[in-house]
Structure 1
Amino acid sequence: MVDTERLFLAIALPENVRSCLVERMRVVNARAVKVRWVPAKNIHTTLKFFGDTPAEQKAVIENTMERVVARVQPFDLAIAGVKIVRRGRRPQMVWATVTDSDGELRRLHGRTERLLEQGGFSRERRPLSPHITLARVRDGIAPWEQHMLEEWSLAQRDLAPVPFRVEDVVLMRSELKLRGAEYTVCRRFKLQEK
């Protein structure tokens, strides 16, 4: 059996941004029973998910990402609200939306996909939808909980955007545990200053 690691590339968020998101979630967190909130230490935005990856493919990812970041400068993003993602009428996830007004994240994503494809990885078929998963909604959510979530997400629209600077891309390992996923940083790829 081949040893594998469950890997993904992410944009890690600065501590102040994670704290801001946690503070916003705290308002509704304690009362929503059927909502599983992402722990603060796990809050990130995913650039590419690989899944179970053998060691030799991990090395290809690392070598490729060195090439990717060699031509990408740090850039700014902002969190600009909350969206409830639904399957039919049922809420499934709660996302913080990420704005990429200069298109730098899309360019980074495109370069990452292109160079990884040259290394033998499949391209993501869905278009990039920059977001941060804040919570997953369990089956059987009560109507009052659903209403509370919707009211809370609408209230987030009136809050000021939360800007942050992207200075690196992180290769993360995800281990699935009974209490949820546990993430570990495998490697950081620093974006290049001019």
Structure 2
Amino acid sequence: MVERLFFALWPPVSQRDALARASQGLSVVPARWTQTADLHLTLVFVGPVEAHLFGCVAAAGDDVAVAPFDLRLAGIRHWEHNGLWVAEPADAPSGLLNLVSQLQQNLLACGLEPEKRPYRPHITLARKAPAISPMPLHLHWPVTNFVLATSRPRSGSAYQVLRRWTLDV
């Protein structure tokens, strides 16, 4: 069986609800909204993985050594090139970049190369969305863990968290 896997930061319910409230004013505009339960910040998109590689991919999170860090989401913007509305941090904290780097490095042992595009942290709020003016957002998120998740067929939630790791040095 092939699964589409990704490592992500999964906000607690209170943060996901705050993101949903912050974008509520946009809900009158036609777009394909991300369900509140599915809001997350992708760290590394692994992609389709054959069953025999699952253990290796999951182990990539086992020896990550990153201290908890604070993420401050500062705005909601439109990404014109792919029609997304996203919540973005003003800048990426070093803990976030270190976490992404360690996961990418660990995935090399599975024969999986890092994505070539520069990492751009964001939470996708909606797809197929028209242009909007940037909106301020003031959301503080103390990040204490990360997850390995998979996409699943649309029946309720689009994603399923498979494993969770606590950040610790």
* TM-score between both structures, scaled by the size of structure 2: 0.90
Mapping 1:160-175, distance limit 5 Å: 161-175=138-152
* TM-score between both structures, scaled by the size of structure 1: 0.79
Structure 1 or 2, whichever has the larger Rg, is 1
Q: Is the 8 A contact 1:8 1:48 kept in 2?
A: yes
Q: 1:181 to 1:126 in 2, by over 3 A?
A: farther
Aligned with 1:174: secondary structure?
A: strand
Task: Extract structure 1 runs of 4+ deviating beyond 3 A.
Answer: 99-102
Q: Give the Cα–Cα distance (whole angstroms) in 2 for the partners of residues 110 and 174 of structure 1.
A: 22
CA shift for structure 1 position 100? 4.5
Q: Give the equivalent residue in structure 2 for 1:98.
A: 89
Aligned-CA RMSD value: 2.0
Identity %: 31
Aligned residues: 169
Q: Give the Cα–Cα distance (whole angstroms) in 2 for the partners of residues 180 and 86 of structure 1.
A: 28
- Are 2:2 and 1:4 equivalent residues in the alignment? yes
CA shift for structure 1 position 22? 0.7
CA shift for structure 1 position 57? 1.2
Mapping 1:14-93, distance limit 5 Å: 14-29=12-27, 31-33=28-30, 35-68=31-64, 71-87=65-81, 92-93=83-84
CA shift for structure 1 position 28? 1.9
Q: Is the 8 A contact 1:171 1:186 kept in 2?
A: yes
Q: Is the 8 A contact 2:37 2:157 kept in 1?
A: no
Q: Give the Cα–Cα distance (whole angstroms) in 2 for the partners of residues 116 and 83 of structure 1.
A: 31
Q: Is the 8 A contact 1:175 1:182 kept in 2?
A: yes
CA shift for structure 1 position 181? 6.5
Q: Is the 8 A contact 1:77 1:99 kept in 2?
A: no
The residue type paired with residue 76 of structure 2 is V
- Are 2:163 and 1:190 equivalent residues in the alignment? no
The residue type paired with residue 13 of structure 2 is E
Q: Give the Cα–Cα distance (whole angstroms) in 2 for the partners of residues 96 and 190 of structure 1.
A: 24
